[in-house]
Structure 1
Amino acid sequence: MGERAYVSEAPALPAHAAGHPVIVFDGMCVLCSANAQFVLKYDRKGHFRLAAMQGEVGSALYRHFGIDPADPDTMIVVDGNKALRDSDGVLAIYGALGWPWRALSIFKLVPRAIRDPFYRFVARNRYRIFGRRETCFVPRPEYMERIL
């Protein structure tokens, strides 16, 4: 049950993110912003960088991988020239956070044909279910170097 990666031959990451996977998320979504805060807090090794899809880096990465930043249907985790999306992206994030979050990798045993429709349902209805922020997510000062 390997991850499904979308590969691009062009360089995808800004130079200052080299060596760090980048999570591109919806900074206006309450659920997405809460998840970004969670990652910043529990990614104690500083493995990930984050970019809101509303920003320059995030929207460029979405376009780079063929996703319309004005109407995204997924968050992505960009690592080098590949991007993981949908449930593969989420599971990659939690798998990299270490214990106990890595235990969520057990959901890789659930076929993607079941995981992804559930993910897409939540993604399509994220504002209706969880709400929309008035302003884009702004992290605490100690996390600013990890925001692109």
Structure 2
Amino acid sequence: MTSNPAILLYDGTCGFCDGAVQFILRVDRRNEMRFAALESDFGAAVLQRHPELAGVDSVVYVENPETPDERVTVRSEAALHVAQYLGGPWQALGTVARVVPAPVRDGLYDRFAAIRYRVFGRVDSCALPAPEVRARFIA
């Protein structure tokens, strides 16, 4: 395992986001990426360390968490980091998607984000992870 694996912050009440995390857990061959809800104490601490994320309503990819080299990316760029991490066909898809200019990718991301609750629903709270992956979730 990488000494300081990336952490994906996600909307813990979003049905699509929960499904995306479950998908990542299924296809992640390295079993290193960790997860935390934006609404968690850890998520709040990341947002506090990065004031530029104030009011963010997006997935946040955190590299080198809790170190002086901590870096965060949001929206489509965060999704592309996840694709890169997953490798294989997901990495190839991400490479192709990088051809699209970031403002266009983020515009599409924002449009989808605006309807995600209507299409995929809202959950009352984060689902309890299965015992075999529970250690990869941060409260």
Question: Residues 63 and 128 from structure 1, CA distance in 2 versus in 1: closer, same or farther, beyond 3 angstroms?
Answer: farther
| 1:27 and 2:19 are equivalent in the alignment | no
Backbone CA RMSD of aligned residues: 1.7
Distance, in Å, in 1 between the alignment partners of 2:58 and 2:98 is 18
Distance, in Å, in 1 between the alignment partners of 2:127 and 2:90 is 23
| 1:85 and 2:74 are equivalent in the alignment | yes
Q: Deviations over 1:58-104 (max 9, x none)?
A: 22212322234xx5321110102110111000011011112122121
- 2:123 maps to 133
Distance, in Å, in 2 between the alignment partners of 1:123 and 1:137 is 20
> What does 1:1-148 correspond to in 2, within 5 Å?
19-66=4-51, 67-68=53-54, 71-80=55-64, 81-105=70-94, 106-148=96-138
> Does the 8 Å CA contact 1:29/1:126 hold for their aligned counterparts?
yes
| Structure 1 gap segments, 5+ residues each | 1-16
What is the deviation of 1:129? 2.4
TM-score (normalised: structure 1): 0.80
Distance, in Å, in 2 between the alignment partners of 1:75 and 1:84 is 8
> Does the 8 Å CA contact 2:32/2:136 hold for their aligned counterparts?
no
Q: Deviations over 1:33-76 (max 9, x none)?
A: 001111112112123110011211122212322234xx532111
TM-score (normalised: structure 2): 0.85
SS of residue in 1 equivalent to 2:112? helix
What is the deviation of 1:18? 5.3
**2:100 corresponds to which letter in structure 1?**
V
Distance, in Å, in 2 between the alignment partners of 1:72 and 1:113 is 16
Distance, in Å, in 2 between the alignment partners of 1:56 and 1:87 is 24
